Chains A and B, each alone.
Chain A
Amino acid sequence: MSTHVIVCDYDEALISRLERRRLVVRVDDPSRLNDAARFAQERNALHALWLRVDAPLSGLPFTMLEALHAVPLYLDVTAVGNFRTWRDQVDRLRRLNVLVMVPEDAPVSYRDLRILSSLLIPCGIRFGSPCPDWEALTDLLYYAAYGKVLHAPIQPFHFVLSGYERHQRTDFSGITFDDPSRYLHIDSRGCIALTRKELEQGAFIESDLEKLDAVGDLPAYQSRLESWRDFFLKQDGCAYCPGWRICLGAFAGTPGNRPGCQKFFAEFLEAAEYHLDLRTEATRTILRPWDACPA
């Protein structure tokens, strides 16, 4: 059986066909969250509930969310909203197993992410615009990577800082379920796509759900996993950028992006190296002759 986590909409007929698989169930209507969680958990392992709404965090029905305190909740919102409108919900949000995702280009999103993180509510940036505000992103990176006070993880920084290895690529697209080595997206007909965007565009790699376990053998799938090599074959500018090990060319398509993204990802890489050193130091064995010999 494929080890992929399957991402699909809350569709009972579809979920019934995905028995015993790990699922991310996407819901557009908060009132259906409880039903979705209950139904998905009956025959599947629920990896997360993905609530995608065209509303700010402050507009969500928090009392309804409270019933889902044991379920990993991925709240994909358009903005956070004025603190006044959600300040009474801070405790409730802290009790949830939640990740609040805010679009990078939403007004004051960087400020709001700091507020969320400093109040110990896990959160993250959803990249949408081809050319993010690199300076604001760098400031947020500093806060996430070097802040001395306990704060909640900010994605994708936390993902990279806690998992970066010097001789491997670190692909943070999994934060938005877009890493094909871990997630596959399936529509109501059972067609399989590698990312959510491709699913919405109808770009499927397989239209037969029965072949789900054989996806790994498909040329389209394998070529996607190997697509990182293209940057080096083309001798693209990204091939010379040290930060590529983290960005993997995610922002390569936008003209004029490069000085900003190169600078940002160089900083990001430095932060990742720093955290790797911290992790290595924490696990280093130090000789303590005064300790008793292990049996």
Chain B
Amino acid sequence: MANILLTQRCVRSCPYCFAKEHMSRSALEATLSWEDLIYLADLIQISGEHRVSLLGGEPTIHPEFVNYVAYLLERKIGITVFTSGIVPPRTLEDMTSAFRQIPEQRLSFVCNLNDPHLSPPTEFERIGPFLEEFGPRTVPGFNIYRPDFSLDFLFDYINRYGMVHQIRMGLAHPIPGAKNAFVSIEDIRTAMDRLVSYAPSFRRFRVVPSLDCGFPLCAFTDEQLGMLYRIVGDPIRFGCSPAFDIGPDMSVWCCFPLSTYHKKSVFEFNSIGEIVTFYREKLRGLRIEAGGLYEDCDECTYREEGKCAGGCAAHLLSRFRNEERTRMEEIYK
């Protein structure tokens, strides 16, 4: 599924922000134009896709946000909006009248929430109005960027605003060439212990954790995997595949942590499938140099069998860029 950035501007400044490096190199005022939106809608339909994610920055501050969503829905394209929940009041009013009748399957939100104890005091007051209105079609998202995180506030939010009983868990990754907060390779297992320690709360509140990309399978013990399976019910994926993001200037890259790696223009591709294939090949090139986060990854049977990708490729790229240039030239582009 394509991620389309409507704007580069954001209303928050999260310490782990994956987009930080990309944003710092791009024109902040760049916003996606109507012409480019129509082009992308065509590209999505040509490719036989039926869903798209809208991102930012904060996508709702794009002046045409509601119009763009309404347009894509008219084109029969389902939408997931990734938002901070801090929505300009006038936009929220417009969203409420425009989206109230739209089925949740066609329009949903992922609201990225930070721990209130580590955020500015006014942040959660500003998120409230959005969640009041759209909570039932919103999945809370949380990014783990330190091993001593807390999830308690998320259960509170899910209950208070009737949010979807699921938490989209992301693991903050290093951005090659930039400084951001992330969980170091050494701390990943500690962080996963912390995550599994919330199993009783997940059970009690009937909330399902869904793991985003880049979690390594071996960061969990067999017992922990069993506990997660009991909560999630489905096999858990430990993948790292191109999510690919399309910027307001129509540039395209593999994912935010790899935003500097083989950045291209959308106009160089004829379909979404071509973009995915291109970046899948580039990721494969990285994995040839090193299988995964740990040395054992090279010979890991779980990786060979496709049960685990070996963690986020951004860790590998960060490592390669800090060592002597002895690898395939392709890696450094």
Contact = CB atoms under 8 A, between A and B. Distances in A.
Interface of A: 82-84, 87, 90, 111, 114-115, 118-119, 147-149
24 contacts: A83-B64, A83-B67, A83-B70, A83-B71, A84-B66, A87-B70, A87-B71, A87-B98, A90-B74, A111-B34, A111-B35, A114-B38, A118-B38, A118-B41, A118-B42, A118-B75, A119-B71, A119-B75, A147-B42, A148-B46, A149-B41, A149-B42, A149-B45, A149-B46
A85 to B, nearest CB: 10
B74 A119 contact: yes
B304 interface: no
List of 8 A-B pairs having minimum Cβ-Cβ separation, nearest first: A149-B42, A83-B67, A87-B70, A149-B45, A111-B34, A114-B38, A90-B74, A148-B46
A114 B74 CA distance: 14
A115 B38 contact: yes
A115 B71 contact: yes
Contacts of A148: 42, 46
Contact of A84 (B38, B45, B67): B67
Which of A84, A90, A114, A118: most chain B CB closer than 10 A?
A118
B281 interface: no
Given A114-B38, A148-B46, 19 more contacts: A83-B64, A83-B71, A84-B94, A87-B67, A87-B71, A87-B98, A111-B34, A111-B35, A114-B34, A115-B38, A118-B41, A118-B42, A118-B75, A119-B71, A119-B74, A119-B75, A147-B42, A149-B41, A149-B42
B66 to A, nearest CB: 7
Interface in B71-97: 71, 74-75, 94
Nearest to A147: B42
A82 B75 CA distance: 18
A90 B41 CA distance: 17
Interface string B32-57: 00110010011001100000000000
Contact size range, B: 10 to 19
B35 to A, nearest CB: 6
B59 to A, nearest CB: 17
Contacts of B42: 118, 147-149
Contacts of B34: 111, 114-115
Contact of A87 (B35, B38, B41, B74): B74
Contacts of A82: 67
A119 B71 CA distance: 8
Contacts of A111: 34-35
Contacts of B67: 82-84, 87
A82 B68 CA distance: 12
Nearest to B66: A84
Contacts of B98: 87
Contacts of A115: 34, 38, 71
B243 to A, nearest CB: 24
A84 B71 CA distance: 10
A148 B43 CA distance: 9
Contacts of A87: 67, 70-71, 74, 98
A147 B43 CA distance: 10
Nearest to B33: A111
Nearest to B270: A148
Contacts of B71: 83, 87, 115, 119
Contacts of B74: 87, 90, 119
A90 B73 CA distance: 11
A90 B45 CA distance: 19
Given A83-B71, A87-B70, A119-B75, A114 B46 contact: no
A148 B67 CA distance: 24
Contacts of B94: 84
A149 B67 CA distance: 21
Contacts of B41: 118, 149
A173 B66 CA distance: 38
Nearest to A84: B67
Nearest to B41: A118
A115 B36 CA distance: 11
Nearest to A83: B67
Nearest to A114: B38
Contacts of B70: 83, 87
B43 to A, nearest CB: 9
A111 B71 CA distance: 13
A111 B64 CA distance: 14
A83 B67 CA distance: 6
Nearest to B97: A88
Interface in B139-192: none
Nearest to B45: A149
Contacts of B38: 114-115, 118
A205 B74 CA distance: 48
A87 B35 CA distance: 17
B35 A114 contact: yes
A119 B64 CA distance: 17
A224 B94 CA distance: 54
Nearest to A112: B34
A107 to B, nearest CB: 13
Contacts of B75: 118-119
Nearest to A139: B35
Contacts of A90: 74
A179 B71 CA distance: 36
A144 B124 CA distance: 47
